[in-house]
Structure 1
Amino acid sequence: MNALEVKELHTYYGKSHILDGVGLHVAQGELVTLLGRNGAGKSTTLRSIVGLTPARSGSVTVFGKDTTHWPPYRIAGLGVGFVPEGRRIFANLTVDENLKVPVERPGPWNIGRIYQLFPRLAERKGNKGRQLSGGEQEMLAIARTLLLNPSLLLLDEPSQGLAPLIVQEVFRVITATRDEGTSVLLIEQNVRAAVEVADRAYVLDDGSIVYEGLASEFARDEERVRALAGASAEKWSEEEVGDASVQAAPGMG
């Protein structure tokens, strides 16, 4: 049984046809990335899956249950965690207080383990959300969702606006989550980083899936990667991460 199965999704904003027959699946314990240029429909796909922007037609199945017309809270109750674009942490609460907002569910993740996974958050546990860098806020947003011990984790652009060194740290955490057995669907603009950690990749273009296959195979198609990644097509290498970390050190975000 797949953790997530999406078939022939058609989603509209008013009269604008945003998703045109989108189909994808995530197996249990698999990390899948959905790639595409800005405006391709990636975020709308996630919003349709979690019920925030319901599809007009098509189907969404989560752990064998048809959730197409369910409200978001019922979908979350199946063990679906959603980290939206923009982080949306509580700016006036401390890191520790932010982590105590979710009602913990049984599973491997608790606040103690979160601080082991995110040493940077442990160092700043008394800082308010607004005092954190962009990278720390993203870590906190992911950490807060992990405390729900989701069986399926959906992430929308977790690397957006982050320095390369912090991107590497965020993706390390995403991989660790998958290694714990959580199924992951990752929406990402950083093509290089995404295909390094993902098992499979989909590419969305103008509301339709135009590629499906192993992430490693997609990564080897240099022309396709560069066409999709545009200005972000630089090698995501240790050397460049090191160089960028020196430049980004003061802000760390």
Structure 2
Amino acid sequence: MKALEIHQLNTYYDKSHILKGVDLEVGEGELVTLLGRNGAGKSTTLRSIMGLTPAHSGSVKIFGTDSTHLAPFRIARLGVGLVPEGRRVFANLTVEENLKVPVDRPGPWNIPRIYELFPRLAERKLHKGKELSGGEQEMLSIARVLLLNPKLLMLDEPSQGLAPIIVQNVFNVIVAARNEGTSVLLIEQNVRAAIEIADRAYVLERGAITYTGVAAEFGQDEARVQELAGASAQKWEFPDD
């Protein structure tokens, strides 16, 4: 069974045709990255999967269940966790209080495990969300979703605006989630970092999929990576600890 299957997905904003026949799938326990320039339709893809921007046509299946027309809360109940762009934490709650918001679900992720993976959050657990740096807020945003123990984890640009050492921490946690058996769909503009950890890659251009394949093989197509990555085209190496 596939964690996620999207077939011929078409999505509109008013009269603007954003997603144009998108086909995409994520296997159970697989880490897949969806790459593309700004405006390609990556975030719209996530919003359509979650039912936040309903598809005009096509289908979405999550662990075999047709979720195309389900409400977002019902899609979440299928085991989907979304880390949205923008680090949406509760500004007036402490780190510890933020981490206690999610409903307890059985699985490998709990608050002590989160503090092991994100020692900085443990250090800052009595600080309010608004007092955290951008990187710390991103860590907290990911941690809250992990505490739901999702079967399918989706992340929208988790490295945006972060220093390389923080990106390393964030991506290490994404890999840890995959290693626990969680299926992952990662939307990312840091092409080099994404293909370093992903099993497979898709490229979205102007609402249509233009590449599907093994992430490492895509990484060897230097011209394609340069074209897609733009300013981030330099070779990515995770910083030393």
Normalised to the residue count of structure 2, the TM-score between the two structures is: 0.99
Is 2:200 aligned against 1:172?
A: no
Q: Distance in 2 between matches of 1:61 and 1:166?
A: 33
- Measured after TM superposition, the shift of residue 109 of structure 1 is 0.5
Name the CA distance, whole Å, in 2 between partners of 1:135 and 1:236. Answer: 19
Whole-Å Cα distance in 1 between the matches of residues 204 and 62 of structure 2?
21
User: How far does residue 61 in structure 1 lie from its aligned partner after superposition?
Assistant: 0.1
Distance 1:180 1:46 in 2: 22
SS at match of 1:43: helix
**Partners of 1:114 and 1:237 in 2: how far apart?**
25
Give the structure 2 partner of residue 250 of structure 1: none
The alignment partner of 1:176 has SS state of: helix
Q: Is 1:112 aligned to residue 108 of structure 2? A: no
Code of the residue aligned with 2:84 in structure 1: it is P
Aligned length: 241
| Equivalent residue, structure 1, for 2:16 | 16
Q: What amino acid is the match of 1:98? A: N
Counterpart residue number, 1:39: 39
Q: Which structure 1 residue ranges, 4+ long, deviate > 2 Å from structure 2?
A: none
CA distance in 1, matches of 2:29, 2:54: 26
TM-aligned CA deviation for residue 121 of structure 1:
0.4
C-alpha displacement of 1:33: 0.1
- 1:145-195 CA deviation, whole Å, 9 max, x = no partner? 000000000000000000111111110000000000000000000000000
For 1:219, the equivalent position in structure 2 comes to: 219
Alignment-mate amino acid for residue 73 of structure 1:
F
Corresponding residue for residue 156 of structure 1? 156
* CA apart distance, 1:49: 0.2
2:89 partner SS: coil
Kindly report which structure 2 residues correspond to 1:203-242, keeping only aligned pairs within 5 A, or say none: 203-238=203-238, 241=239
Structure 2 CA distance for aligned equivalents of residues 44 and 89 of structure 1: 21
In structure 1, the residue matched to 2:51 is 51
Does 1:28 find its partner at 2:28?
yes
Tell me the SS of whatever aligns to 2:173. Answer: helix
Q: Give the percent of matched residue pairs that are identical in Structure 1 and Structure 2.
A: 75
* Structure 2 Cα separation of the partners of residues 177 and 201 of structure 1: 18
**Post-superposition offset of 1:237:** 1.9
SS class of match (1:193): helix
- CA–CA separation in structure 1 for the residues paired with 2:170 and 2:226: 23
Opposite residue 97 of structure 1, the aligned amino acid is E
CA offset digits 1:26-47 (Å, max 9, x no partner): 0000000000000000000000
CA positional deviation for 1:18: 0.3
Residue 4 of structure 1: aligned partner: 4
Residue 93 of structure 1 deviates from its aligned partner by 0.5
TM-score, L = length of structure 1: 0.94
- Between the aligned partners of 1:228 and 1:205, the Cα distance in structure 2 is 10
Name the aligned partner's letter for residue 156 of structure 1. D
- Which residue type is aligned with residue 67 of structure 1? S
Q: CA deviation at 1:201?
A: 0.1
The residue identity in structure 1 corresponding to 2:113 is R
Q: Report the Cα offset of residue 104 of structure 1.
A: 1.2
Counterpart for residue 98 of structure 1: 98
Give the Cα separation in 2 of the matches to 1:237 and 1:79.
32
Cα distance between partner residues in 1 of 2:225 and 2:213: 13
